[in-house]
Structure 1
Amino acid sequence: MAKIHLGEDSKSLAVRIVAHFTRAIDAEVIQIVETTSEEHKEEKLLSIPALVTSEDGRKFVNYSPYSIIEHICKLTHFQKGFVGKSELQQSKILSYFEVIEKQDEKILAEALNNDLKLRTYLAGYNITAADIFAYAHIITYAKGLSKKDLSQHENLFRWIDQIQHSSGIQKFAVDHDLLIISADDLVDPASMEETKEAKPEKNNSKKDKKQQNKGNKQKNNPPAKKQGEVDYKAEPVTLVDFRVGHIVKVWPHPDSDYLYCCSIDIGEEEPRSIATGLQKVVPIEVIQDAMVIVAANLKARNMGDFKSDGMVLCSENEDATNFELLTPPEGAVPGEFVTFEGYGRNPPDRLNKKKKIFETVQPHFKLDGEGIAHYKDAKWLIGDKGPVYCKTFRNGAIS
C-alpha cells in the first residue's frame, strides 16, 4: 500500500481532500501519514506532500501534487473524470497546478474570480483536481475576508460555495472548519450605505410606531407565502421545476469559448434566456430548434453580460467524453412538466439556493440501459406521452 506523507500546507490539504472525496482511505488503497517537520527530516523527504511506493525492494518517492492526486484517482477509478477526460483538459488542469503554486493568495483570488466569470468549474463541466487544488490554496485566505470583500469576488465565492457543498467534500469541510459564508449571503457594497441611511431613527416613540401599524392595514394581513415557507423536508426532486423547452434561438456567447446563449420557449409569455456550456461539445446546428428539458426555478446567474435564468439538461456517455441533450418524448410541447414516477410535484417559484436542492438530486440522475432518464429508480415522465430519454448514450450520467 502506498504511503502519502502530508503536512499542514495547502498542497497537503488538497491531497487530503482528494483522498476523502475519492474514498481512497475508506477503500484502504493508500495510507495517509501525518508528518511533522522533524519526522519529515528523519524520513529524508525533500518536501511535503510525498508519495512513497515500493517495487522489487526499492523505494520510490514522488513530490508532485498533481502526480500524487493522479495516483489516488487511478487507484479509485476517478482518473478520467477528475484529472482530465482528454489531453486538452489534462493540460488545462496541470497548468492550474503550475500557476496556483506560484501565486500570492490575493492575486490568486483575483485571477480565480476572473476565470470563473463565465464558468461553473475551472477546467470542465464537473469538479476536477484543478478545483480542489485551487480551493485548498484559497480557502484560508477567503475565510479571512469581510462580507464587503466577499461581494467583490462574487464568482469566486459562488464557486467556493459549490465546492464546499459537493458530495464527498461537505463533511470534510465541516469537520475541518473550512465552511465559509454562502454566496447568497454576500453583501452588495453599493447597498450598504443605502441600508445605513434607510435605517429608522431610534427616537421614534412606541406610540408613534403603534399608530403607524394601526394605520397600515396591510401589516395586519397575513403575509404572502415566502420562499422560506416551502416544505424543504419534502423529497428534494419534487421541488425542482423541470419543463419541456424549445430552443428558438442560439448563438455563441461573445466572451466565452464554452457557452451558448439560448432563447428558450418553456410555455411562458416570453422565451427564457439561458446559457449552456456546450459550445465545445455540441454543434450549434444541433442546439438550434432542439426540444430540451429545462430546470426552470434555479437562481438566475449573470454569465458575463448575459443573464441566464435556468439550466438545460444534458447527458453524457459512460466515459464522460461526449455530451448530448436530453430529449422529451414525441408530442411533448413547451411548458409541459416533467414528473418522476412515484413522486409528486410541488416546486416553488424559486429554489432557495442555500438548501442545495439541485445539488442534492443531480448525483442520482442517470440513464438506464435503454437510454431512459431516471432519478434513482424513477423514470422522468412527460404526462402520458412517455419518458425523457437520450438518443445515443446508454448507462450515462445526467447534468
Structure 2
Amino acid sequence: MATILRLNEKSSKDILLVHKYTKSTIPVETAKELSLEVDNKHIDTAITIINYIVSQTSPELLGKDKLEQTQVEDWLSFIVSSLRSAAKKDVIAHMENKLNSHLNFATFFVANRLTVVDIVIFGILHAYTRNMKVASVPNVMRWFDLVQHLIIENNSNLAEVFPLVSIDLNDVPEPAPPKKDDKKGDKKDEKKDNKKDNKKDDKKNDKKEKKDATADGDKKGEAKDGKKKEKKEKKEKKPAAAPVESDQPTVSRLDIRVGYIRSCKKHEGADSLYVEEIDLGDGEGEYRTIVSGLVKWYPLEEMQNRWVICLANLKPASMRGIKSQGMVLCASDPDGTKVELLSPVDTSKVKPGDRVYFEGMEGEPEKVLNPKKKYWETVQPDFKTKDDKLAYFQDKPFLIKTASGEPIKCQVATVQGGGIK
C-alpha cells in the first residue's frame, strides 16, 4: 500500500507546513482525522507523523546531535499537549509566558538555527499573530517575523496558505514624554493671552477704525501673511533623512558596553526574571533598567554589584510590564546546563560605558537597532566562547576600549565552546 498523509484542513496546518517546507513527496488527502498510512501501518499521533515526514527529507531539522534531538522531542511533546488542540486563551497565555520567556535569550527554540520546532510552532501561531501586539509578546513577534522571512519568502508555494504577516517591530509604546501636555497647555495659554491682548487692542483702536481702515487692512494683511509664512515654515520642517546604508561591518552597529549592576531584584510579576539597575555610562546618576531571565542561573545575592557586558542599543521592550532598556550578555554551554554572565577580564581597568569592539571591524553603532534590519539576529550565531573561556565574534575576541588605551578582553567563568546571547 502506498504511503498517504491525511490531513484535517482546519487543525493540521502545522503539519501541512512541515510537509510543504520539507518538499515531501508523500501524497496528501483531505480527511476528518489526521493520519499517516505507511506500509499498511496506521499512524495517528502528530509527533510520529512529523518525525516521519522530516526524517525522510530533512533529518537535520530534528537536531544535529543527541542533545538537540532531545530538546526537539521535548518541545514537540509540549506543542502537542499544550498548543495544537488548546483553546485560544490558553495558546495566548503560553505565548505571553513560556514562549516569550524562552525567546528572551534565544533566536530560535532549539540551537542557533531553524529546526522543526520553529516550523511547527510557526504553523500553529500563524492564525494568532495578526491580533497580537508586539508590546505584549515582543520576543515571540521578533522570532515570528524572522521565521516567516526564512521559510515563507524563500518558498513561494507556502505564501498562499501562510501569507506574510505585517509586523511593526517598532510598535513598542514608549513612555509618554511628561512635558507634552505642558506644551499643549502653554500653547492654549498663549492663545488665550493673545486673544485678550487682541481684544484690548481692538478696544483702543475702535475710535480710529474709520480713519485708519486702509491702514488696519494692511496690517491685517501683513498679519495674515506673517501667519501664512509661519505655517509654511512649520510645514517645511521635515524629519532628517535616514542615513544611507554603508559598508560598515554589521557587528560594529551593535552598541556593546561594560555595565555595572548597582542593584537587582526579582520581577514581581515573573518568577524567572530579575530586574537590574545598571550603570552603562549614560551620565552621572543615569542608570538603565534591564530585565533578564537569570533567576534559574544566579542567586539574587550574586547579581548585586557586579560587572557585566551589555547590548545597549536594542529597542526598549516591555517585559511583563517593565520596560527593559538593553540586554546583559551570557554564554550558555552546548548541553544547556550552564548560563554564565560575560564580564571584563580585569575590572580594575574599565569603567561603565566602555565600548566593546572587534579589531578591524570598528564603526559607529546605531543609536537604536532597527528590528527590521535584524543586525543582532545576523551576528549573534557567531558570538561564542572558546576553550580559553574568552568571548569571540567569529575568530575576533571581544575587546574593551579603555581610557588608558589598553584593550581588555571579556570572559566567562567556566563555559567553553558556548554560544553567547
The answer to whether residue 278 in structure 2 is matched with residue 264 in structure 1 is yes
Deviation at 1:252, TM superposition (A): 1.3
Paired residue for 1:352, among 342, 346, 370?
370
Deviations along 1:105-146, whole A, 9 cap, x unmatched?
4x3564345436962539988525666544312313544x5x
SS of alignment partner, residue 299 of structure 1: coil
- What is the CA–CA distance in structure 2 between the aligned matches of 1:123 and 1:344, rounded to whole Å? 25
Alignment counterpart, residue 373 of structure 1, candidates 391, 397, 401: 391
When residues 230 and 215 of structure 1 are mapped into structure 2, their CA distance, relative to the original with a 3 A threshold, is closer
Aligned to 2:291: 275
Q: 2-side partners of 1:332 and 1:396: how far apart?
A: 25
Q: Give the alignment partner of residue 385 of structure 1, picking from 400, 404, 407.
A: 407
What is the distance in 1 between the residues matched to 2:304 and 2:277?
10
Equivalent in the alignment of 1:50: 36
- CA deviations on 1:18-68 (whole Å, 9 max, x unpaired) are 6899xx77xxxxx5524123xx7xxxxx9536385xxxxx77554322345
Q: Aligned letter for 1:297?
A: N
Q: Is the 8 A contact 2:290 2:326 kept in 1?
A: yes
- Residue 10 (structure 1) shift: 7.0
What is the CA distance between 1:281 and its match in structure 2?
A: 2.2
* Cα 1:63–1:340 shift into 2, 3 Å: farther
Distance 2:281 2:417 in 1: 30
CA distance in 1, matches of 2:146, 2:170: 15
CA distance in 2, matches of 1:344, 1:59: 62
Deviation at 1:303, TM superposition (A): 1.4
Structure-2 separation of matches of 1:61 and 1:256? 43
Unaligned runs of 5+ in 1: 26-30, 41-45, 53-57, 192-206
Counterparts of residues 217-232 of structure 1 (less than 5 Å): 225=240, 228-229=242-243, 231=245
* Counterpart contact for 1:7–1:36, Cα < 8 Å: yes
Q: What is the number of residues matched between the two proteins?
A: 347
Give the one of 248, 252, 263 matched to 2:266. Answer: 252
**Structure 2: tracts of 5 or more residues without a match:** 111-115, 177-224
The CA distance in 2 between the partners of 1:261 and 1:187, in whole Å, is 19
User: In structure 2, which of residues 83, 87, 106 is the aligned counterpart of residue 100 of structure 1?
Assistant: 83
Give the match's secondary structure for 1:393. Answer: coil
**Partner of residue 14, structure 1:** 14
Partner in structure 2 of residue 164 of structure 1: 145
Measured in 1, the distance between the counterparts of 2:372 and 2:107 equals: 21
| Identity across matched positions, percent | 26
| Cα distance, 1:279 vs structure 2 | 0.8
Residues 1:135 and 2:122 are matched in the alignment:
yes
Give the direction of change, closer, same or farther, for the CA distance of 1:10–1:249 in structure 2 (3 Å limit): farther
Alignment of 1:1-399 (within 5 A): 5=5, 7=7, 9=9, 13-15=13-15, 31-37=24-30, 47-48=33-34, 50=36, 52=38, 62-69=43-50, 72=54, 75-76=59-60, 77-78=63-64, 85=71, 90=74, 94-105=77-88, 107-108=89-90, 110-115=92-97, 119=101, 121=103, 126-128=108-110, 132-143=119-130, 145=131, 150-151=132-133, 154-156=135-137, 159-166=140-147, 170-174=149-153, 175=156, 176-177=158-159, 178-184=163-169, 186=171, 211-216=229-234, 225=240, 228-229=242-243, 231=245, 234-268=248-282, 269=284, 270-330=286-346, 331-383=349-401, 384-399=406-421
Pair 1:124–1:368, CA change in 2 (3 A): closer
Q: TM-score, normalized by length of structure 1?
A: 0.72
Q: Secondary structure at the match of 1:293?
A: strand
Per-residue CA deviation, residues 330-366 of structure 1 (Å, 9 max, x unaligned), is 0222110000122012112211122111111111211
Q: Quote the offset at 1:321 in angstroms.
A: 2.4
- Whether the 8 Å CA contact 2:107–2:377 is kept in 1: the answer is no
Give the TM-score of the pair, scaled to structure 2: 0.68
> How many Å separate the matches in 2 of 1:123 and 1:102?
27
How has the CA–CA distance of structure 1 residues 382 and 141 changed in structure 2, closer, same or farther, with 3 Å as cutoff? closer
Please give the root-mean-square deviation of Cα atoms over the aligned residues, in Å: 4.0
After superposition, the Cα gap between the structure-2 partners of 1:51 and 1:298, relative to the gap in structure 1 and judged at 3 Å, is farther
- Pairwise CA distance, 1:209: 9.0
Show CA shifts across 1:282-308 (max 9, x none). Answer: 222332222111000101111123211
Residue type at the aligned position of 1:180: V
- Pair member with larger Rg: 2
Match of 1:194 in 2: none
